[in-house]
């Protein structure tokens, strides 16, 4: 039973939410073509608590969407979460971005997409001909762990031969061009969001699985390449 600040900076959607007992009660998001996290994240957090009429010191923990995703976005988000955690003396709860996306998709999107698939593939655009991807079943059990997938050589084709998979997320536009399979379906418009963290963050908090505030790092999956 916790009041948790949820932060997701893994994509162009800079997103913060406040959850109570695993249910989102307030959300602030800003989506821009470029990454606005450095300029907007602190302002969004301030506005979130103004709307909630609460002091940030009242939270029990901070949940961070730990990646994979945008290197710059994750770095800014992690620095902010660490700073707040140290200043407020609050626990940090890490949630996989791809797993949170799957939970949010399965629990909140159109029922026909959910019923027509037995596996769900969360995707994030990683640029340079790749996407980050991970596959889960309807209960959120990991079937294929997060990895950087070459779009020209999608490694989950063998899974598609025996399972219906619904693909969604910001990497979808790349995969739709190369996956032509009767067992594949595609759901457009689903973005990473702090809203997706709430339930998983509450469970992790109750299990007392806290990150080392000084040493935790986001899950980048690959090294940063400038340019």
pLDDT 10s digits, 30-53: 998 777 888 899 999 999 999 999
Structural domain contains residue 198: yes
Range list of H helices, 23-156: 37-52, 71-88, 97-108, 111-115
Number of domains within the chain: 2
DSSP label of 134:
E
- Give a yes or no: residue 65 inside a domain: yes
Same domain, 143 and 165: yes
Residue 69: inside a domain:
yes
> Which tens digits make up the pLDDT trace of 94-103?
999 999 999 9
Report how far residue 87's alpha carbon sits from residue 37's, in angstroms, rounded to the nearest whole number: 20
Expressed as residue numbers, the domain containing 159 is: 98-187
Q: Are residues 8 and 92 in the same domain?
A: yes
Q: Answer whether residue 226 is part of any domain.
A: no
pLDDT tens per residue, range 156-189: 888 999 999 999 999 999 998 889 999 999 999 9
CATH code, domain carrying 16 = 3.30.420.40
Regarding whether 59 and 7 lie in a shared domain, the answer is yes
What Rg, from alpha-carbon coordinates, does the chain have? 17
What is the value of pTM for the model shown?
Answer: 0.94
**Is residue 218 one of the residues assigned to a domain?**
no
C-alpha–C-alpha distance, residues 144 and 27, integer Å:
30
Alpha carbon distance 142, 146 (integer Å): 9
Regarding whether 174 and 106 lie in a shared domain, the answer is: yes
Half-sphere exposure of residue 170, counting CA atoms within 13 Å on the CB side? 20
pLDDT over threshold 70, residue 226: no
Q: Would you state the pLDDT for residue 94?
A: 98
- Residue 143 domain flag: yes
pLDDT grade, residue 145 (50/70/90)? Answer: very high
The confidence band for 110, taking pLDDT boundaries of 50, 70 and 90, is: low
Q: What are phi and psi of 41, to 5 degrees?
A: -60, -50
Confidence of residue 109 (pLDDT cuts 50, 70, 90): low
């Amino acid at each position: 039973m916790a009041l948790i600040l949820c932060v997701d900076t893994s994509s162009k959607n800079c997103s913060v939410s406040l959850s109570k007992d695993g249910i989102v009660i307030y959300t602030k998001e800003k989506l821009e073509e470029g990454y606005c996290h450095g300029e907007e994240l602190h302002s969004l957090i301030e506005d979130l608590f103004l709307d909630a009429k609460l002091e940030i010191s009242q939270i029990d923990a901070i949940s961070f969407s730990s990646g994979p995703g945008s290197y710059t976005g994750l770095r800014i988000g992690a620095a902010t979460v660490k700073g707040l955690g140290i200043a407020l003396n609050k626990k940090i709860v890490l949630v996989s971005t791809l797993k949170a996306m799957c939970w949010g998709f399965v629990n909140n999107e159109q029922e026909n997409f959910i019923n027509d698939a037995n596996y769900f593939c969360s995707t994030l655009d990683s640029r340079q001909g790749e996407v980050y991807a991970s596959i889960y079943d309807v209960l959120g059990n990991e079937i294929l762990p997060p990895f950087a997938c070459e779009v020209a050589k999608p490694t989950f084709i063998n899974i598609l031969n025996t399972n219906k998979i619904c693909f969604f997320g910001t990497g979808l536009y790349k995969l739709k061009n190369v996956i032509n399979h009767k067992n594949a379906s595609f759901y457009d418009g689903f973005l990473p969001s702090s809203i997706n963290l709430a339930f998983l963050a509450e469970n992790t908090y109750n299990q007392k699985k806290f990150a080392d505030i000084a040493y935790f790092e986001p899950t980048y999956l690959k090294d940063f390449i400038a340019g």
